[in-house]
Amino acid sequence: MKVLKFGGTSVGSVENMCNVKNIINDGDKKIVVLSAMSGTTNKLVAISQDIKDVNLSEAENKISELQKVYFETIDQLLEDSDLNKSVREYVISIFEDLKACVSKVFSDALENQIVAQGELLSTYMFNSYLNQEGIHSALLPALDFMRIDGNKEPNIDYIKNNIKTVLKENESANIYITQGFICLDANDEVSNLQRGGSDYTATIIGAAIIAEEVQIWTDIDGMHNNDPRYVENTNPISNLSFDEAAELAYFGAKILHPQTVTPVRADNIPVRLKNTMDPIAHGTLISSKTSEGGIKAIAAKDGITAIKIKSARMLQAHGFLKKVFEIFETYETSIDMITTSEVAVSLTIDDDRNLDKILNELEKFALIEVDERQSIVCLVGHSVVNHQDTFKLFQILQDVKIRMISYGGSKNNISLLIDTDDKINTLQKLNDYLFELVTL
Ligand code: ADP
Ligand code: ASP
Ligand code: MG
């Protein structure tokens, strides 16, 4: 069985929902994972921020605006008056719950409850639409089987057992619809897989049922060789290895949640990226196959903080790095890039929630410099470190201030740390000289 995930834009309008219906209605049994309609999760995040800021009338306004969008969508999507009425009742009940949240005291649990509503709405509406169109589908509540453990990792054994049960209970259905993004946590509270998490839901399910293939359907024809939001003349890449895709997703290619590839690579389950608006386009196939060819793609990750930790006696003082790493471990902050010299170590983090505490600890034995608003530019390709293009990099980027470079950590990745203000210029230059065959 295949698992197909459709993102926010794919379910963001009646026209696109119709495209999704045509794509999935090919007679094969499948699991379909849906995101919230585009814009909804952002709105729900903003509503919970208003509640946190005790901006309660603003929260209520946003809830009313969002409810209107759903009523309009239902009226366009569901002509059948009984179905229209029952979906309307469901939507009203969700929005009544949201309105009730406004008078509650803010907590992370409340925020998780609020942001979960988007996927509940889109799947309920879409499943009813399929029923109207005579398609035999069943709605499988993700909260019946999707769960993370105390380390926020998917609880694979639980997921495997529970998904098996729900599939069995709905054996006669041809298409299973479920929510992306949402899950239960180790305490049975509603939680989620972080922003963009529906991709991750799809590959977790793919691994749990040992799917034939996982397909991620979105609004673009696959993984491009550079970020199309900032760079002109990017092109889709037809094949990527699991390693290459994992690096690109982790280092900022927004088309994939950072963890998308993790669940499926061990079982060699291919992941295909496809365009809902242009289903004939090849897209990108992510598999264990590797191909030579130098730098294949570039991604950038913003919101990076660089920390330089300087000790007069670093090399002599053995145990220095251990001490440094232990501090980051204590504050559950992972390190992305690291470089060392005789007197200093520079490293980067993307989660600065505990930055002050980390700096306090480091300052007890070292001199510290911090640079915020940094970006990691990541260049990916099979054996990229050995390719001739790689040696042109410094020439191409001679007018960009490179703060750190990571080369050789993996054969498939070279990372550069730059100021975020230089990001677009850097990405465009790399694109022009590496992919557009402009000569230096
Ligand atoms: P969905 O809502 O379907 O999950 P996303 O917005 O999360 O879609 O991801 C698709 C978007 O990712 C594209 O519209 C594109 O703007 C952006 N994107 C960023 N980097 C890349 C890349 N390297 N290749 C393709 N798309 C990218
Ligand atoms: N709806 C969630 C988000 O916007 C999950 C997803 O779309 O993948 O982040
Ligand atoms: Mg996404």
- Contact yes or no for 379/413 (Cβ under 8 A): yes
* C-alpha distances out from residue 323 to 317, 328, 329, 342, Å: 11, 9, 10, 16
- How many residues would you count in the chain? 440
State which amino acid sits at residue 360.
N
Q: Which residue's alpha carbon is at the smallest distance from atom 6 of ligand 2?
A: 196
208 and 349 share one domain: no
9 is a domain residue:
yes
232-277 pLDDT, tens digit each: 999 999 999 999 999 999 999 999 999 999 999 999 999 999 999 9
**What span, in angstroms and rounded, lies between the C-alpha atoms of 326 and 331?**
9
266 is a domain residue:
no
Centre of ligand 1 to C-alpha 266, Å, is 25
124 is a domain residue:
yes
Centre of ligand 1 to C-alpha 184, Å, is 26
* C-alpha distances out from residue 76 to 69, 129, 342, Å: 11, 11, 66
- Contact yes or no for 140/62 (Cβ under 8 A): no
332 and 422 share one domain: yes
**C-alpha torsion 330→334→339→344, nearest 10:** -30
Predicted model pTM: 0.95
**Residues at CB less than 6 angstroms from ligand 1:** 7-10, 35, 196, 218-220, 223-224, 227-229, 253-255, 299
Centre of ligand 2 to C-alpha 203, Å, is 15
271 is a domain residue:
no
Q: Which residue's alpha carbon is at the smallest distance from atom 5 of ligand 2?
A: 196
Ligand nearest to the CA of 196: 2
Choice from 218, 233, 235, 301 to test ligand 1 binding pocket (greatest atom count within 8 A of CB): 218
DSSP state of 180: S
Number of domains in the chain: 2
290 is a domain residue:
no
Centre of ligand 2 to C-alpha 68, Å, is 21
211 and 71 share one domain: yes
**What span, in angstroms and rounded, lies between the C-alpha atoms of 332 and 320?**
19
Centre of ligand 3 to C-alpha 40, Å, is 13
Ligand nearest to the CA of 8: 1
| Residue finishing a domain among 167, 193, 219 | 219
Question: Which CATH number covers residue 179?
Answer: 3.40.1160.10
Low-confidence ranges of the chain (pLDDT < 50): none
Centre of ligand 1 to C-alpha 226, Å, is 11
| Residue finishing a domain among 184, 199, 219 | 219
92 and 213 share one domain: yes
**What span, in angstroms and rounded, lies between the C-alpha atoms of 401 and 409?**
21
**What span, in angstroms and rounded, lies between the C-alpha atoms of 255 and 249?**
8
Q: What is the pLDDT of residue 20?
A: 98
Centre of ligand 3 to C-alpha 390, Å, is 30
344 and 203 share one domain: no
| Residue finishing a domain among 219, 247, 262 | 219
42 and 154 share one domain: yes
**From the CB of residue 122, how many other CB atoms can be counted at a distance below 10 Å?**
27
Ligand nearest to the CA of 218: 1
DSSP state of 318: T
3-39 pLDDT, tens digit each: 999 999 999 999 999 999 999 999 999 999 999 999 9
403 and 313 share one domain: yes
Q: Which atom of ligand 1 is nearest to the CA of 297?
A: 23
Among residues 256, 211, 285, which one has the least CA distance to residue 3?
211
Question: Which CATH number covers residue 305?
Answer: 3.30.2130.10
209 is a domain residue:
yes
Among residues 94, 201, 83, 100, which one has the least CA distance to residue 142?
201
Choice from 198, 205, 273 to test ligand 2 binding pocket (greatest atom count within 8 A of CB): 198
- Contact yes or no for 348/374 (Cβ under 8 A): yes
**What span, in angstroms and rounded, lies between the C-alpha atoms of 412 and 428?**
21
- Contact yes or no for 114/101 (Cβ under 8 A): yes
Q: What is the pLDDT of residue 193?
A: 98
Token readout for 85 is 């009425």
41 and 151 share one domain: yes
11 is a domain residue:
yes
Residue 394 is inside which H or E element, if any? helix 393-396
Instruction: Tell whether ligand 2 has an atom less than 6 A from the beta carbon of residue 12.
Output: no
Residue 227 is inside which H or E element, if any? none
Tell how strand 413-419 and strand 367-380 pair up.
Answer: antiparallel
Give the DSSP letter string of 62-129.
HHHHHHHHHHHHHHHH--SHHHHHHHHHHHHHHHHHHHHHHTSPP-HHHHHHHHTHHHHHHHHHHHHH
Choice from 181, 182, 201, 204 to test ligand 2 binding pocket (greatest atom count within 8 A of CB): 181
Centre of ligand 2 to C-alpha 358, Å, is 31
Q: What is the pLDDT of residue 315?
A: 54
Instruction: Tell whether ligand 2 has an atom less than 6 A from the beta carbon of residue 217.
Output: no
17 and 161 share one domain: yes
Q: What is the pLDDT of residue 312?
A: 62
52 and 163 share one domain: yes
160 and 308 share one domain: no
Strand-pair partners of 233:
none
Q: Which domain holds residue 68?
A: 2-219
Centre of ligand 2 to C-alpha 127, Å, is 18
Largest CA distance in the chain: 78
143 is a domain residue:
yes
Q: Which atom of ligand 1 is nearest to the CA of 7?
A: 3
198 and 339 share one domain: no
